[in-house]
Amino acid sequence: MRIVKLTEETRKDLLSTLLKRSPNQYAQYEGTVAQIVDDIREKGDEALFAYTEKFDHIRLDPESVKVTEEEIEEAYRAVDPALLDVIRKALVNIRTYHEKQRRYSWFDSQENGILLGQKITPLQRVGVYVPGGKAVYPSSVLMNVVPAKVAGVPQIIMTTPCRDGKVSPNTLVAAHEAGADVIYKVGGAQAIAAMAHGTPTIPKVDKIVGPGNIFVALAKKAVYGFVGIDSIAGPSEITVLADETANPRYVAADLLSQAEHDELASSILVTTSESLAQAVSREVDGFLQVLSRKEIISKSLENYGYILLVDSLEEGIMTVDQIAPEHLEIVTANPFDTMTRVHNAGAMFLGSCSSEPLGDYFAGPNHILPTNGTARFFSPLGVDDFVKKSSIVYYSEEALRAVHTDIETFAKAEELTAHANSVAVRFE
């Protein structure tokens, strides 16, 4: 991996390079995605099945597009029992973590007949998108479905691409275990459009969640406003903040765990130690000789892999905050103290034994995270993404009488006389 001494100029170049990975930078595909979305909005199933045949090379109809009970039973027979056991263990951890995020309605009764509050209502129908093109991600099924179930969403539908007419058994089993209600064998921008606008086969949802390729990301961007979305996800990324106490072999392995996702993935080490930097670079070279996705990893590191040398931990923290990474590993002498000084990261992994895949699969926190610097203002997917809040206001006549002239004064100051009148009329 390239080792770079961080300066103001190299920092600016780095941030510019990383931002090129954002879905907002792929305007050349937006026209194609817009056409797909418009066609499905206008033609429904006809366009959905035509695009599925064109892109996924499979012919579907209203009967075959929906995963059947028999297919789920077949998936259970095909899945490795050891994997099923792990899925069930992970589900316990994920469900337990997200149950702590659950919100409740509250009401505050005050003097003179005033009641204020907030009512929490689950979304009624949510669409979960699960990738299935280059790779299969049953872990993403769990991370999307579980918080929706904990939030109390009555119906969760899932779409995922299929190969040769079949969805991966691992994906089907994960979906059934997590509690997805209906699964459809469609993917890509056409699946997003179908869930956003509804077709005779696939019902319109209130919100769409889940990661996907650039076409999925741009489709979510295009339908936002017709439905809610979680975020417009970019390629995966990891930043490791480390000092001389870090184990270079561990750090190298963790950097490569994200580089294998795709050629646009970003893997960055920020360190105060030149000796660690050199050692990590050597370990990366060694791992590359034995890892199965060597070509993807090499391309990812060539494009977006860096070892950044900084003069102090404070400078390292500042750099991390500017990158605002999806995943941040903190491997310093006192990672808990360092963590308190970091402001921007989707998920933080503390210490030498908290490798990023622990969060991907098992620990419990959600692995659907903000990417491309959006950790400055976005949060991980959670229960809050599947509920809405309604403000509750009740004033008795006595309570309103005490303040009505104040309200009228405010309304008149904004030259909104009808507002003022709607209060004043009650005290004529």
Q: What is the reported pLDDT for 162?
A: 87
- Residue 22 above 80 pLDDT? no
Displacement of CA 157 from its chain's centroid (Å): 17
Rounded to whole angstroms, the Cα distance separating 117 from 100 reads: 21
Residue 13: pLDDT band by 50, 70, 90 thresholds?
A: confident
Q: 114-122 and 106-110 as β-strands: parallel, antiparallel, unpaired?
A: antiparallel
Rounded to whole angstroms, the Cα distance separating 95 from 98 reads: 5
pLDDT tens digits, 273-282: 999 999 999 9
Q: What is the reported pLDDT for 37?
A: 96
Rounded to whole angstroms, the Cα distance separating 364 from 96 reads: 7
CA dihedral 69, 71, 73, 76 (to 10 degrees): -140
pLDDT tens digits, 348-397: 999 999 999 999 999 999 999 999 899 999 999 999 999 999 999 999 99
Which pTM value belongs to this model? 0.91
> What is the residue-averaged pLDDT of the chain?
94
Share above pLDDT 90 across residues of the chain, in percent, rounded to a whole number: 83
pLDDT tens digits, 72-107: 999 999 999 999 999 999 999 999 999 999 999 999
Question: Residue 160 in contact with residue 183, Cβ under 8 Å?
Answer: yes
What are the residue numbers of the active site?
326-327
Rounded to whole angstroms, the Cα distance separating 65 from 45 reads: 10
Question: Residue 194 in contact with residue 46, Cβ under 8 Å?
Answer: no
Rounded to whole angstroms, the Cα distance separating 306 from 270 reads: 8
Residues in the chain: 428
Residue 25: pLDDT band by 50, 70, 90 thresholds?
A: low
Displacement of CA 240 from its chain's centroid (Å): 20
Rounded to whole angstroms, the Cα distance separating 160 from 175 reads: 11
Cα 373 to Cα 242, 318, 370, 415, distances in angstroms? 20, 13, 7, 42
